[in-house]
Structure 1
Amino acid sequence: MENEIEPSFKVSTRIWWNITWKTFVFGIPLSFAGGFFGVILGLAVTGGNDSSANTIASICSALAIIPVAIIVVKSCLNESYGKYRVSITEVNE
């Protein structure tokens, strides 16, 4: 593509930081909620086995962050980073 440039370290860092802080801020509360739900679910399913309940809680906690990360990446597209912008374009081959 004619407008493509090689991203600098500074621009790449700005994009990475934008994605990272948003995922952290919005992901932590959902991770706790997913873990709490997972503990309740795990205790109900396993009949009180703490080890299995912790495993289920960890899985639920990790799964709760996935939609947050997808939404954050979507929100960071078409956002300006100084004089640059990340966007998706269709490639016609």
Structure 2
Amino acid sequence: MSNTNIYKNPSSELVNQVDDNMVEVTWSIATRVWWSYVWRFMLISLLGGAIIGAIGGLIVGILGKPELGGIIGVVLGYLITLPISIYLFKKILNKDYKHYKIRVLTKNL
């Protein structure tokens, strides 16, 4: 196994190779990446939020505070979307698209 430090500045050879493969972010590319994120986020957040919200609302109702069921359900539903959105964003950054792949590069200062 190599002992490569991924946090070191890339060599100039690697930077030149990356520069040759880079493309300008067009509206078409931006829209594809955005849509790739949005449809996944809407679907999974809707399902996850509904399930967690319903469970939270049910528990509060069983505990004798049914008037808080809606509020607790909504709050828990919103809270579950934060980790879902971060997970999906990372997944989109690692996704292979038809003609490109998103990469994060160190900034040479």
Alignment TM-score, normalising by the size of structure 2: 0.67
1:25 to 33, 37, 43: 43
8 A contact 1:42–1:54 mirrored in 2:
no
Which amino acid is the alignment partner of residue 26 of structure 2? S
- Aligned-partner Cα distance in 2 for 1:87–1:30: 29
**After alignment, is 3-12 or 53-62 more displaced?**
3-12
Q: CA deviation at 1:49?
A: 4.8
**After alignment, is 8-17 or 31-40 more displaced?**
31-40
Structure 2: gaps (5+ residues): 1-14
2:33 to 8, 15, 32: 15
Higher RCO (Cα < 8 Å, 6 or more apart): 1
Which protein is richer in strand relative to its size? 1
Alignment TM-score, normalising by the size of structure 1: 0.76
Bigger Rg, which one: 2
Structure 1: gaps (5+ residues): none
% identical equivalent positions: 21
The 5-angstrom pairing of residues 1-93 of structure 1 reads 3=19, 5-43=23-61, 47-50=64-67, 52-93=68-109
CA RMSD between the two structures: 2.3
8 A contact 1:37–1:60 mirrored in 2:
no
**Number of residue pairs aligned between Structure 1 and Structure 2:** 91
- Aligned-partner Cα distance in 1 for 2:61–2:32: 42
- Aligned-partner Cα distance in 2 for 1:43–1:78: 41
The 4+ residue runs of structure 1 with deviation greater than 4 A are none
